[in-house]
Amino acid sequence: MDLRKLRKKMRKVQDEPRYEHTLSVAYTAANLAAVYGEDVDKALRAGMLHDCAKCLPDHDKLELCKKYHIRVTDMERRNPSLVHAELGACLAKDTYEETDQDVLNAISSHTTGRPGMSLLEKIVFVADYIEPGRTKAAHLREIRKLAFEDIDQAVIRILQDTLEYLSKAKSDIHPGTQLTLNYYLEQKG
């Protein structure tokens, strides 16, 4: 889909703060793609679509998960926002006609990451965390610099910071986050 049309569609389904975040993620992903030699157009599309399911009402998210046969854990049922990444990949394909599997994987893995992510997946995962509108994450300045020097190390730092934050906040921790961190620490090993 043409990027201009995609922007218009996202503007219709996202509230203003989410739309601004989406634009920032798309442009940050495009910059990272340029640095690492990834397809910039794919990075823009993945960034524009990464939160396409985020602004849906919780009930609708859970109903759509049934439609797409997405397994929902008890933790996700308590916090339906956690399903927006996997659900977003389904909507990106069906509603927004995205056909590139790497783009769909990048949407699906942008919140928890996953072991063995492609370069595009890492780029969108990192871009979502470091986009200019983000201000409160720990070590953000350091991670922003690192993102343009060593994408794998940036992924590790983001996962570590996320786990530390969730642990301190006594929030539910998605098991995929720890699994992904363990995988990348072993790879760096």
Tell me, what DSSP letter sits at residue 137? S
- Residues 151, 123: contact at Cβ < 8 Å? yes
Each residue's pLDDT tens digit, 39-94: 999 999 999 999 999 999 999 999 999 999 999 999 999 999 999 999 999 999 99
- Residues 3, 10: contact at Cβ < 8 Å? no
Closest by CA position to 44, among listed 100, 116, 109, 112: 100
Closest by CA position to 154, among listed 118, 186, 129: 129
Each residue's pLDDT tens digit, 127-161: 999 999 999 888 999 999 999 999 999 999 999 99
Provide CB contacts within 8 A for 41, sequence distance 6+. 3
User: Structure tokens of 125?
Assistant: 């995962």
| Helix, strand, coil tally for the chain in percent (to 5) | 70, 0, 30
